[in-house]
Amino acid sequence: MASFSTSLAPFEDPEPEPESKREPGHTDDAYKPSSFDDQDTHDGQSTDNSIDISNQQQSTDSQSLPHTRTSNPQDPTDTMVFGSSILPGIILVMSRITRPDLISPTAYTTWYEGIHIPDILNITPIESAYRYIANQPAQVDFPFSAIYPIQNEGFSLLTNPNSTWWHVPITSDTLPIASHSIFDLAQFSFVSYRSLLSVGKAPSKDTGAYPYVTYTTIPVPARGKPDHSALISAASAAFKSPRPVRSTLFRWEFKAASNDGASAPVNPPYLVIHEFAAQPKGTPTPYSISRKLGDLSVMF
């Protein structure tokens, strides 16, 4: 995964199966993007403060996002109970400028928030978008992030090469390069995640998101079904003041091929997004909200 996040040490099963009780020749199954051993999204685990995660013109540019993919995962049937405004998952887009000699962060943001996200909201079923910028861009590989909440059917946006996601233009006459393609000015990573557990207070439907987020990745354990609450607690331990207002655990679903040069990892980690009402200190580097677009009652 792109190093926009802080990675914790592997989360060990507190009670591993004794070697003497394991069948001869037993080996731990590898965790792959297309096969999820952690299917306990309906196991009833919760804490007292947990939440069941149960008018712009369309661009006339003709060139769209590439259709190639890096894996062919399953789309597990969701069995959780979702609130009316908290959606089952997200598409997380991380990006970085590769031609700072041609486009400034300000010009990039103008294109992203004034043209690109409105195109996404007009062309795809996605209803809201939350874009963030790293407070210390030099400390992360990808200083720009965008979170798009998605319904269950939204997971096919990345996996289906004919979906509306891949018809979102990547060219614009406003981009300062002969090809007019943003892919010649910046790199992108497209990954979908499924929500497993959210602990804390959800944002109000008027604001849609808290002003700061951080990203923490947790390696998938080699055996057993991890306690989702314990994973969130481990990821939150580094924050003393201020504490996260809400922390949400996500399971990797799919990484679409892009121009970031990275393939899907063999063992995709969990992702925890921490949200803060005040700017957190220390690591991981916080990202500040830059723009909220669309229906802000639709949240992640």
Confidence of residue 226 (pLDDT cuts 50, 70, 90): confident
Helix residue ranges per DSSP H, the chain: 105-111, 117-123, 156-159, 228-236
Contact by Cβ (8 Å): 175, 182: yes
Residue 103 has pLDDT above 90, yes or no: yes
Residue 35 has pLDDT above 80, yes or no: no
Where is mean pLDDT largest: 13-17, 76-80, 212-216?
A: 212-216
- CA dist., res. 228 & res. 232, Å (int): 6
Mean pLDDT of the region 273-295: 92
**Residue among 66, 168, 163, 162 at smallest CA distance from 119:** 168
Mean pLDDT of the region 74-78: 31
Confidence at residue 292, expressed as pLDDT on a 0 to 100 scale:
97
Mean pLDDT of the region 36-62: 34
Mean pLDDT of the region 160-177: 96
- Can you tell me whether residue 53 is helix, strand or coil? strand
CATH top-level class for 48-56+70-294? alpha beta
- CA dist., res. 144 & res. 180, Å (int): 20
Mean pLDDT of the region 121-130: 97
Proportion of the chain above pLDDT 90, given as a percent: 56
Residue 164 has pLDDT above 90, yes or no: yes
Confidence at residue 36, expressed as pLDDT on a 0 to 100 scale:
30
In the chain, domain spans: 48-56+70-294
Residue 256 has pLDDT above 80, yes or no: yes
Q: How many CA atoms lie within 13 A of 133 on its CB side?
A: 12
- CA dist., res. 24 & res. 300, Å (int): 44
**Beta-sheet strands, E only, within 54-185:** 89-97, 128-134, 144-150
Mean pLDDT of the region 242-268: 89
Residue 95 has pLDDT above 60, yes or no: yes
Using only C-alpha atoms, what is the Rg of the chain?
A: 19
Share the mean pLDDT of the chain. 77
Confidence at residue 11, expressed as pLDDT on a 0 to 100 scale:
45
Confidence of residue 3 (pLDDT cuts 50, 70, 90): low
Give 68 or 97, the one with higher predicted confidence: 97
**Residue among 1, 69, 73, 3 at smallest CA distance from 31:** 73
- CA dist., res. 21 & res. 172, Å (int): 62
Confidence of residue 169 (pLDDT cuts 50, 70, 90): very high
Residue 10 has pLDDT above 70, yes or no: no
